[in-house]
Structure 1
Amino acid sequence: MARPTLTLAALATAAIPGLEVAGARAHTRRSTGAFDAAELRATDGRRLLIRVPRSQTAETEQSADLVAIAAMTAGIRSRLPFAVPSTSGQAPIDGTRAVVTDFLDGHVVSGDDLTAYDRLAESVGGAIAAIHSLPTGFIGDAGLHRETADESRDAVVELIGRASDTGHLPAALLRRWEEATDDAALWRFRPAVVNGSLSADSFLVDEERVLGVVGWSALSVGDPARDLHWLLTSRGASAERALEAYTLGRSGGADALLPQRALLYGELELARWLLHGVDRHDEAIIADAVGMLDGLVESVHERTTEALSPETGPILTVDGVERMLDETPRSAPTSAREPRSALLTDSYDFSDLERDEVGERYAYQPEATAPIPLDLSDWGDAAPDAVPDAASDAAPDPAATAPLDRATLDQLTAEAQARRNAASS
């Protein structure tokens, strides 16, 4: 059951000492999000976002995201033409933690809409290029993952091997994917800073430009093609302008075969979906994945696709990959090593904020606060919920609700790594 908006608002007052909340409303685009979330308006004018994970997977993602955005110093952020969330505080609840960040302006649109018009498409391409052009040193300083070109290929080889071991991977795809990993030219690239889980849902935009990027749990140094497969499958009229802007923004840093490698990553999403079904012993997911893999084989046999490289057979066209990925359920898996926040997002679409119904109250109550006045004048039709008086027999531990410090970040890093090790064992 989703936590009521009022509970989340009260949690925020525990997470940020001295915070006075004037109004709160649910923050969600769909009912399948992995987080309970609410937008808050403070009496001092600040807009905040509080999120509580609903699952262990979401909690792991949240922990990794906190470490990543903490690593992005003011100097790093100044190199980006968009906003990145900053963490304001945290508070314990039901064995997990609520995390409060600043609320970023903008709304989420589909990949096709991101590339429908020149100006926005160019902003998207430039935003990705800016990420990939960041200096790599801060990744190592923060203890985040770094992957060489050879290690990126090895990870793909491992993924293909696991998919093959299920007995459900068509021989034609196994052969073609193995040919791709054997093609040394395809894997001659310079690793770059990557978001690692970038998708259309990562971007907060207005009509003309990218305002913010969210979901940094897979921030690392690795193959920049990982951030691009979703863009290559968009069907907006200005998709090519986005790629041109990306290439220009990289100033020669993009390798010639990056698009082909990005399309390969797109196909491998089907292998991930198959493995997710096998890991969960879910025959429906397995059957769904097998059906999509068979469809990919048919496209290859019909020779209606483009070649991946001289050493490989044809690969699915942009339209074909788009069709396949559109059919992949949004609850697709999270890799133990590569969290995919885009598939877990509670959503950041401001236009879809909905009023939360007051339901079951949770046992947790924050420290006592005074009644909070409520001004509805600037919230439009979706009126927020007032935050009532709240009292507690025992206030939360101040250490547990303080802003994140280095020790807390080190703890979060260790927790995330331990869970990933457990998941991969």
Structure 2
Amino acid sequence: MPRSPLTLAASVTAALPGANVVGIRPLGTSEHGRIASAVADLDDGRQVVVRVGEDDDAGRGLIAEARVLEALSAGVRSLLPFQVPALLGETAVRGGRAIVVDFLDGYRVEAADVPAGPGFASLLGTAIAAVHDLPVTVIRAEGFPARSADQVRAEAARLVDRAIATRRVPSPLHERWRRALDDDALWRFEATVVLGGLDPASFVFAEYDDVPVVRGLLDWQGLSVGDPAVDLRWVANAPDAAAAVHEAYAGASRRAGDPYLAERAQLFAELEFAKWLVHGADEDDEVILQDAERLLASLADATADSDIVRPDARNVDDAIALLDRVPRAQESTIDTSMQTDAYDPVALGAYLADAERSARDEDADSGAIPTLPVDLSEWTASASVPEDAAVDGAAERATGTDNASPAEGDDHDEAARASRAALRRWSES
């Protein structure tokens, strides 16, 4: 049951002794309703965000986020060209956990709304490169997870094995994944600081003199050392912006070039479907299994007769040069198993939703059931599965909330319109 504003306000005063809340407004829920968020106005003029986990898993996630925010020292934060929320307090609450951070005002942009060319795409590529350029030694010293290239590859292989074991992955698709996993050149990369799967909506944008800038980055829970491609898998949802994102990222990065970064990012995007399937198998949920099977069939059709790495895209000299520049990371004793609870059902259907609607329209006259033909070169994010969740998810992504009252919906609709207006101004300038 969603927590009331009074309960959220009480969480602020519990986490910040002496604080006096004079106003509070909900930000909605996230993580599929497991985390409730609100903005609280304090009598000293500050605005803070309170986030409350509704179950044990969500509570553990908030504890992990609090640990990351505490570990990011002033020196590390100064290396970033944008703000990071400051942890102000945390507390145990009835049935969960609450953390309080400072409020970063601004607006967010969904992957499907990122326009082609320079602008938001370039800002995102540059911002992600800044995260990846943080000192790896600092993250290791704080005890956060670290995976070498070999470990990332082995983890992906285990996920594929588990998905194939369900006997629901189309043969052309698992053969495509196998070829990518067997390609040694694809997995020669320099491990970097990563956030385990960034998304454009993780960033807060603001405008100065009508020019957008990245003001802050909100989601730090997955801080670790690993494959930088995992933080670029969202580009599959923004095909028009892909070239500008990768160009800006390469131009801003201070590290050695990664000739197969985009290819690994695409593989990780596809493996999100495998995660959904494995989750369904773990939960013994036939509805999830059938849904994942349908998505995988459409993905197989869309990628038929193609490889993650095209033979004509190989650059042997680049691969050899990369080998000389990238040292082998020592084996880690940490658990590197793929966590199947990391799936995002709101994003899983994003690649296929627009194509599904188009197919439905084309078949309307004949009465035929659409077969979801998909062109992965035109992936866009606009929906999820199942369809009833897609409506709620789309509203949450556009406005930053769900389950809002009509009055709250008006405020969030206005925020969404302002975001779209900002996008149009930038795109047309």
TM-score interval (norm. to shorter): 0.7 to 0.9
Return the offset for 1:324. Answer: 8.2
Q: How far apart are the structure 2 equivalents of 1:351 and 1:150?
A: 37
Q: Which residue of 2 aligns with 1:334?
A: none
Q: How far apart are the structure 2 equivalents of 1:307 and 1:275?
A: 22
Q: How far apart are the structure 2 equivalents of 1:44 and 1:129?
A: 37
Q: Counterpart of 1:144 in 2: which secondary structure?
A: coil
Asked if 1:90 is matched to 2:93, the reply is no
- Alignment of structure 1 residues 236-275 onto 2, 5 Å: 236=240, 238-275=241-278
Q: Which residue of 1 aligns with 2:218?
A: 214
Q: How far apart are the structure 1 equivalents of 2:243 and 2:114?
A: 12
Q: Which residue of 2 aligns with 1:153?
A: 153
Q: TM-score, normalised by structure 2?
A: 0.72
Return the offset for 1:74. Answer: 0.8
Return the offset for 1:71. Answer: 1.6
Query: Structure 1's 256 and 31: CA in aligned 2 closer, same or farther, altered over 3 A?
Result: closer
Asked if 1:191 is matched to 2:191, the reply is yes
How many residue pairs get aligned? The number is 344
Return the offset for 1:147. Answer: 0.5
Q: How far apart are the structure 1 equivalents of 2:82 and 2:201?
A: 15
In structure 2, the gaps of 5 or more residues are 314-350, 353-373, 388-392, 413-429
- Note the aligned Cα RMSD (angstroms): 3.3
Deviations 1:283-341 (A, max 9, x none): 1211111111111222333x4x56524399xxx9995176486565399xxxxxxxxxx
Deviations 1:76-122 (A, max 9, x none): 11111111111111222124221111111222221132345622222
Q: How far apart are the structure 2 equivalents of 1:248 and 1:298?
A: 35
Return the offset for 1:356. Answer: 6.3
Return the offset for 1:234. Answer: 0.3
Deviations 1:54-90 (A, max 9, x none): 2332222212211222221111111111111111112
- Alignment of structure 1 residues 17-416 onto 2, 5 Å: 17-28=17-28, 32-116=32-116, 118-206=118-206, 208-236=212-240, 238-301=241-304, 303=305, 305=306, 307-310=308-311, 320=376, 323=379, 328-329=384-385
Query: Structure 1's 62 and 330: CA in aligned 2 closer, same or farther, altered over 3 A?
Result: farther
Deviations 1:316-373 (A, max 9, x none): 9995176486565399xxxxxxxxxxxx9x979777699769xxxxxxxxxxxxxxxx
Q: How far apart are the structure 1 equivalents of 2:50 and 2:294?
A: 39
Q: TM-score, normalised by structure 1?
A: 0.73
Q: Which residue of 1 aligns with 2:15?
A: 15
Q: Is residue 107–residue 351 contact of structure 1 (8 Å, CA) maintained in 2? A: no
Q: Is residue 233–residue 319 contact of structure 1 (8 Å, CA) maintained in 2? A: no
**Larger RCO (CA under 8 A, 6+ residues apart):** 1
Q: Counterpart of 2:311 in 1: which secondary structure?
A: coil
Query: Structure 1's 350 and 136: CA in aligned 2 closer, same or farther, altered over 3 A?
Result: same
Identity, in percent, stands at 37
Q: How far apart are the structure 2 equivalents of 1:158 and 1:195?
A: 21
Q: Is residue 277–residue 283 contact of structure 1 (8 Å, CA) maintained in 2? A: yes
